[in-house]
Structure formats: structure tokens, C-alpha cells
Amino acid sequence: MTISTILIVEDDPDIARLLDFTLRDAGYRTLTAHTGLLGLTLARQHTPDLVLVDLGLPDFTGDEVARRLRATHDLPIVILTAVDDVDRKINLLSAGANDFVTKPFHADELLARIRVQFRHRAGNGCIDVGALHLDVDARLCTLKGCEVSLSPREFDLLCLLARTPGRIFTRPEIVRELWQAEVRVADNVIDVHLSNVRGKLRHKGGYGLIRTVRGVGFAMRPQEVPTPSTAASGAA
């Protein structure tokens, strides 16, 4: 059985020790950094499976660390924050964080959120919807044989919709599956990611693959819909 490694980036020594004990007791390996710079260095050297980052570090903010990690690593990032502010949380999600835990936190809640992130990354083979192909293990998306470059969260969002084509996912469901955050925090973030995914699919010739059900949610169409040019020629 593979043991996952979690990098702790926390400048408070008492909290760092508590996190280290909690995670090791749960069966994880740990690495600890007390600054953002050291955390980035350890991430580059050891490639952990998940990173816990404190929001208030002495050198970088937690969202800056998340942004720098996301630029070079495809791994779950969970922010530890004492700030329960809507705008701040939106910034964290936009910076690349997968989830956040508000201090003071309960050990069981933290471990549950970590397990959710690992479950998302476990991989479930391949997903095919018409000409759309998602290799979950390789985290590769292709449409009509052409690769579609997606961010980690865009890929997760597309996989969520593609696993059950035709099923409408509400905003709360999407947030619960991908961010584990309050709906009011992630509403705008969902729209941004969906817009990005749609634009990238259209760029490869995929039109209308994701439908918006006004006032309800979003769904992947069961089969690929024709491009405008195809539809026009078929009608002629």
C-alpha cells in the first residue's frame, strides 16, 4: 500500500506539531516548512501528494504559495485560515486552492477533507462522451483526437459532469464535490471555470457540450452536438 506524503507549510510551531502528529497518526508521511519559500523548495524536491498551507506566513501569503505551487504542480492544496471572509475565500480558490479549513479546526474534519481530495485524485479509468475522451489517470482531455489543455480544476469539473451525461448538477453539488466550500463563496468561481472549459472545447470544435439549465444547474449532453458548420450542411 502506498503511503501518501503531505507537506505542512505552517509558521506556528504548536499548530505545526499538532498537524504533524494528527497526520502521522492517520498514516500519512509528513514534511514541514515554517515559511512559504521553504515550502515551495520542499515541494520541488519531494513532490508531495498534498499540501497544507497556512494563510498567514511570514514571507508569502497562503494564496501566493498556492499560486506558485499551482504553476508547477498538479496536486491538492488545502489552505488553513483564521479569516472567515467571503472575498478572501474566493481569492484562495481563484489562486489554485482546492479547499480551505477555518481555524480552529477539528482533526476529524481536516482528515475528512484530505480524504476527499485524495479520492478525487484516485483516478477512475477513462470517460468517453461522444468524441470527448477523458483519461482520468493521466489527467488528459482530448476532443476529436486533439488535446484540450485544462487546468487541474477545469479537468475535475469536466470529469464530474462527464461521468453521468444528462444529469444536472446543482451549484451546491459542484461545490461539495470539488471545493468543499459554501455555495455563496464559489458561485462566481464555478462560472469562471465553466466559461473557460466551454471556450477551450469550442476552440477544438466542440460546441454546446455543456448545457446550462437556468435556475437549476449544469449538465453534460449525452452525445456530442454538431458544430455550426456541420449543422448547416446537414440542414441544406
Per-position DSSP letters for 146-205, written without gaps between them: EE----HHHHHHHHHHHHSTTPPEEHHHHHHHHT-S-HHHHHHHHHHHHHHHHHHHHHTT
126-235, what's its fold? Arc Repressor Mutant, subunit A (1.10.10)
Range with the lowest mean pLDDT among 66-70, 94-98, 181-185?
A: 181-185
Which residue has better confidence, 91 or 186?
A: 91
In 47-151, alpha helices (H): 62-72, 86-95, 107-121
Chain mean pLDDT for the chain: 83
Cα torsion angle, 134, 140, 143, 149, sign: positive
Q: Quick one: CA torsion of 74, 46, 69, 113, rounded to 10 degrees? A: 70
Q: Which three cell numbers stand for residue 112?
A: 475528512
100 near 181, Cβ under 8 Å? Answer: yes
Question: CA–CA separation, 228 vs 178, rounded Å?
Answer: 32
- 184 pLDDT band, cuts 50/70/90, is low
Asked whether the predicted pLDDT for residue 203 surpasses 60, the reply is: yes
5-121, what's its fold? Rossmann fold (3.40.50)
For the chain, what are the domain ranges?
A: 5-121, 126-235
The pLDDT score that the predictor gives to residue 54 is: 92
Asked whether the predicted pLDDT for residue 209 surpasses 70, the reply is: yes
Enter the pTM of the model.
0.58
Asked whether the predicted pLDDT for residue 228 surpasses 70, the reply is: no
Q: What is the pLDDT of residues 1-24, one digit of tens each?
A: 467 899 999 999 999 999 999 999
What does the DSSP 8-state code read for residue 10?
Answer: -
Average pLDDT over residues 20-42: 94
Per-position DSSP letters for 87-109, written without gaps between them: HHHHHHHHHT-SEEEESS--HHH
